[in-house]
């Protein structure tokens, strides 16, 4: 696989996309040309002439300098209403606490992500006072736990892993890693590289229950590599662990809490969210409390079980299409090089917030602004 290129025009898009969208469940809602996008806009978009942000670059630089100095801090959150993203929240709807102390939300951004992010940002309404931004190129790592299935099963699991790769867009920075043997992180040059990686997976299951420490240690190494990269990252942890093995893991107390806590802190340091995807043969309940469930929930991720239905990845894919970035007041204690307890909630009823429980400040730049064609009148 080649080096870390964020925009590779040589990539070919997946032949098929899961049915998902920012507004949920019945297919993508952000197709080019929809929402009254003009033909000229689309031609300019293809030619690389998308209009420059209206806000001056100096304002963005001042914001980043304030974050680097500790005056501001960025917090990530995704808010769901059923299987749809709630896009119309305002600054007053959020409650943020770090180490148990409330933090004032200074400003709020909604970042549309994925292949159609600019089109979505120009055409989908966000909350009053919310700044819309777009980030087409995401960083996605698919980590396959080879110790979760025996040798030979990789052939039957290959279609499921390839289906998982369908959430990756043509300009995403993506990698496929095999745990526990993952070396230095290398990103794929194109989709063929990713599919080629699937063909090299080898089952390594042993008699031990649950994912062994070696796989979690390898995951920690991947997260350390991700610390060096700017922006949010999505780590898709694929496990084919069978139901009885997962239950024994729970019965035995699972992974030592110190190892679990260390991985959650590394996720905070790298601004990574861990999403867990169970194979069809795993037959686990998303409400169970295994170590993998804890990793997902503690980092603001999701738990998905494949069933063979083409719509299995729809809720998970929708989460990858955007999220809030909250600017909160910073404090000197934030910069002590350790992870802090984080709690993000919303005052609105019927919503589910996906946010990490541990947080470390970063001064990553915000994605470019987009032109918003409409905003909500209020709540």
Together in a domain, 110 and 62: yes
10 part of a folded domain:
no
| Domain carrying residue 79 | 18-132+324-379
State the average pLDDT for the chain: 81
Residue with the larger pLDDT of the pair 209 and 60: 60
Predicted local distance difference test score (pLDDT) of residue 213: 81
Together in a domain, 145 and 287: yes
5 part of a folded domain:
no
Predicted local distance difference test score (pLDDT) of residue 206: 72
Predicted local distance difference test score (pLDDT) of residue 259: 87
Together in a domain, 105 and 146: no
**Best mean pLDDT range from 173-187, 260-274, 295-309:** 260-274
Together in a domain, 150 and 252: yes
Predicted local distance difference test score (pLDDT) of residue 205: 86
Predicted local distance difference test score (pLDDT) of residue 197: 94
Question: How far apart are alpha carbons 323 and 79 in whole angstroms?
Answer: 7
Together in a domain, 175 and 201: yes
- At 286 the three-state DSSP class reads coil
Together in a domain, 114 and 184: no
Burial class of residue 270 (count of CB atoms within 10 Å of its CB; 0-12, 13-18, 19+):
buried
Together in a domain, 284 and 151: yes
Query: What are the tens digits of pLDDT across the range 355-379?
Result: 999 999 998 999 999 865 445 545 4
Percent of the chain having pLDDT more than 90? 59
Kind of pairing between the strands at 340-346 and 84-85: unpaired
Query: Among 319, 348, 367, which residue terminates a domain?
Result: 319
- Tell me how many helices (H) and strands (E) the chain has: 10, 15
6 part of a folded domain:
no
Together in a domain, 355 and 280: no
Please say if the pLDDT value at position 229 is more than 90.
yes
Together in a domain, 360 and 315: no
Structural domains counted in the chain:
2
3 part of a folded domain:
no
Residue with the larger pLDDT of the pair 346 and 59: 346
191 part of a folded domain:
yes
Structure-block tokens of residue 310: 């083409």
CATH of the domain at 206: 3.40.50.410
Q: Lowest-confidence range among 32-46, 49-63, 198-212, 258-272?
A: 32-46
Together in a domain, 276 and 345: no
Residue with the larger pLDDT of the pair 123 and 253: 123
For residue 375, the 8-state DSSP code is B
Query: What are the tens digits of pLDDT across the range 285-294?
Result: 655 668 888 9
Predicted local distance difference test score (pLDDT) of residue 4: 41
Query: What are the tens digits of pLDDT across the range 297-343?
Result: 999 999 998 988 888 898 888 899 999 999 999 998 998 999 999 99
CB atoms within 10 A of CB 17: 18
Q: Lowest-confidence range among 27-36, 181-190, 244-253, 317-326?
A: 27-36
Together in a domain, 310 and 185: yes
Confidence of residue 249 (pLDDT cuts 50, 70, 90): low
Query: What are the tens digits of pLDDT across the range 74-102?
Result: 999 999 998 889 999 999 999 999 999 99
Predicted local distance difference test score (pLDDT) of residue 25: 34
- The pTM of the full predicted model, rounded to 2 decimals, is 0.79
Together in a domain, 107 and 153: no
Confidence of residue 256 (pLDDT cuts 50, 70, 90): low
Q: What is the mean pLDDT of residues 22-47?
A: 39
| Kind and range of the H or E run holding 110 | strand 105-113
Query: Among 293, 319, 345, which residue terminates a domain?
Result: 319
Q: 3-state secondary structure string, 227-280?
A: HCCCCCEEEEEEECCCHHHHHHHHHCCCCCHHHHHHHHHHHHHHCEEEEEEECH
């Amino acid at each position: 696989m080649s080096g870390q290129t964020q925009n590779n025009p040589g990539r070919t898009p997946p032949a098929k996309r899961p049915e998902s969208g920012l507004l949920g469940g019945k297919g993508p809602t952000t197709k080019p040309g929809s929402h009254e996008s003009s033909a000229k806009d689309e031609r300019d978009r293809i030619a690389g002439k998308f209009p420059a942000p209206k806000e001056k670059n100096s304002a963005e630089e001042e914001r980043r300098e304030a974050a680097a100095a500790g005056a501001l801090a960025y917090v990530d959150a995704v808010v769901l209403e059923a299987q749809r993203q709630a896009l119309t929240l305002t600054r007053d709807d959020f409650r943020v606490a770090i180490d148990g102390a409330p933090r004032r939300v200074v400003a709020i951004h909604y970042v549309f992500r994925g292949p159609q992010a600019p089109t979505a940002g120009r055409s989908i309404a966000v909350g009053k006072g919310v700044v819309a931004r777009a980030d087409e190129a995401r960083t996605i790592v698919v980590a396959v736990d080879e110790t979760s299935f025996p040798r030979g099963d990789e052939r039957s699991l290959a279609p499921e892993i390839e289906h998982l790769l369908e959430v990756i867009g043509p300009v995403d920075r993506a990698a496929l890693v095999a745990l526990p043997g993952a070396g230095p992180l290398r990103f794929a040059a194109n989709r063929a590289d990713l599919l080629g990686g699937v063909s090299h997976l080898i089952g390594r299951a042993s008699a031990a229950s649950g994912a062994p420490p070696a796989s979690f240690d390898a995951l920690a190494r991947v997260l350390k590599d991700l610390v060096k990269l700017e922006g949010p990252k999505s780590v898709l942890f694929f496990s084919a662990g069978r139901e009885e093995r997962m239950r024994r893991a729970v019965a035995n107390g699972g992974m030592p809490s110190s190892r679990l806590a260390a991985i959650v802190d590394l996720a905070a340091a790298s601004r990574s969210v861990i999403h867990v995807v169970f194979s069809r043969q795993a037959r686990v309940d998303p409400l169970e409390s295994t170590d993998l469930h804890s990793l997902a929930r503690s980092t603001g991720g999701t738990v998905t079980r494949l069933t063979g239905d083409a719509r299995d990845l729809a809720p998970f894919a929708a989460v990858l299409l955007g999220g809030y970035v909250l600017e909160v007041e910073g404090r000197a204690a934030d910069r002590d090089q350790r992870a802090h307890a984080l709690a993000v909630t919303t005052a609105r009823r019927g919503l589910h917030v996906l946010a990490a429980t541990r947080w470390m400040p970063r001064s990553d730049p915000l994605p470019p602004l987009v032109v918003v064609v409409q905003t909500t009148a209020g709540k």
